[in-house]
Amino acid sequence: MSTNTLTRAMAAVREAWGPLTTDLVETCRLQIESLANASPDESWLGDLHRDQPASRELYRDPTHGFVLMAHFEHASLYRPPHDHGRSWVIYAVQRGESEMGTYGRIETPGGETRLVKRSATLVKPGQAQVYLPGDIHDTLCVSGPALLFRFTERDLKWEDAIEKKVTRYVQHNGFWSVP
């Protein structure tokens, strides 16, 4: 079996897998960053650059359930604030640039739930961002087409559509709030 950055990274994540710890997150972040720094001469990455899919599953672990996706995004594509339910997530940029904002969820004296933006980070090629369970963030493709990798500790389609654990915030009276 031939090895490349993708197979080596997923093997390293499988080997390290266990309960959520600082060490596990750091191992996974380093492996996902290795994908963002891989040579486009590797066939799997060359295929992504050629096809530029909006979304493609690259790996799904049959034992542990973690999933690696690739996403091509055009400049100015904005994904409003959301969380990932019970899941933790790592985004890495391989090509282009993405601004990722973080938010705190607060309750106003009147009992409304609103988001307050904490920060925005410009994620450049070769860099990764980690979001733990409950973290709220948005993404904006500032330079595209951008290729992003999204590593999730579980299947987010199931988490969102079936379990209804993902929260996607909406603008209401100029503020981001719960739907």
Task: Report the number of distinct structural domains present in the chain.
Answer: 1
Which residue range forms the structural domain that includes residue 143?
5-177
> Mind listing the pLDDT tens digit for each residue in 41-75?
999 999 999 999 999 999 999 999 999 999 999 99
For residue 96, CA distances in Å to 12, 48, 120 come to 26, 14, 16
> Mind listing the pLDDT tens digit for each residue in 84-113?
888 899 999 999 999 999 999 999 898 888
pLDDT value, residue 16: 97
Q: Say which CATH number the domain at 72 has.
A: 2.60.120.10
Average pLDDT for residues 16-28, to the nearest whole number?
Answer: 97
Phi first, then psi: give them for residue 36, nearest 5 degrees. Answer: -70, -20
Better-predicted residue by pLDDT, 155 or 19: 19
Distance separating alpha carbons of residues 4 and 11, to the nearest angstrom: 11
Better-predicted residue by pLDDT, 175 or 52: 52
Better-predicted residue by pLDDT, 37 or 178: 37
